Amino acid sequence: MNAESPDGALLPILVAPHPTLKLRCRPVGPADADAVRALVPRMFAAMYHAPGIGLAAPQIGTALRLAIIDLAPNDKRDPRVLVNPEIIAASPELATREEGCLSLPNMYAEVTRPARVKVRYLDLTGARHEIEGDGLLAACLQHEIDHLDGVLFTDHLSALKRNMIMRKLAKEQKAKVR
């Protein structure tokens, strides 16, 4: 399970406003199977290193409908690979919780989403699964699936809040380069 590139580096996580983060990703097909199987362990390594609880393929520059999550309850790994995930049911009740994103480092905001969702996806063997979640799991599933549609958590905010976060991020990234 090689988590690094041939030169030993972790996969870089793209930072907004990188244009790849705004792309609608194409479904993973049978021809992508080997590439996806090779990519997934490297995605987990990048996500755990960041550290984070979810990562979508566009965040590492790959425009495929592929996401990983691991909410790691009690520090026990529970990695899940979601190939071609889709929300098939969402509750009318809403929940608001603070969200962050590995592509918007150190930026957080309250985001309102459906409180519960049911998601259908494939695993790495091509087997179909469904997962239902509420709380953090529901938010994480929706957040990662949003990435596959070119949507960032800031897109759920008012224009004022979104612009404040994007300006702050740009300022921090500029300072980091110096």
Is residue 109 over pLDDT 50?
Answer: yes
127: CB partners within 8 A, 6+ apart: none
Per DSSP, the three-state class of 16 is coil
Structural class in CATH, domain 19-177: alpha beta
Q: Which pLDDT score is estimated for 75?
A: 73
Q: Which pLDDT score is estimated for 8?
A: 60
122: CB partners within 8 A, 6+ apart: 28, 82, 83, 84, 128, 129
Is residue 80 over pLDDT 90?
Answer: yes
Taking the C-alpha atoms of residue 51 and residue 8, their distance in angstroms, rounded to an integer, is: 18
Q: Which pLDDT score is estimated for 4?
A: 46
Which amino acid is residue 98, in one-letter code?
Answer: E
Q: Which of 72-86, 135-149, 154-168 has the lowest mean pLDDT?
A: 72-86
119: CB partners within 8 A, 6+ apart: 82, 85, 86, 87, 88, 130, 131, 132, 133, 141, 145
Q: Which pLDDT score is estimated for 47?
A: 95
Q: What is the pTM of this model?
A: 0.92
- List helix spans (H) across the chain: 33-49, 135-148, 159-177
pLDDT bin (cut points 50, 70, 90) of residue 45 is: very high
Q: Which pLDDT score is estimated for 97?
A: 97
Active site residue 86: no
Query: Residues 98, 99, 110, 144: which is the catalytic one?
Result: 144
Q: Which pLDDT score is estimated for 78?
A: 87
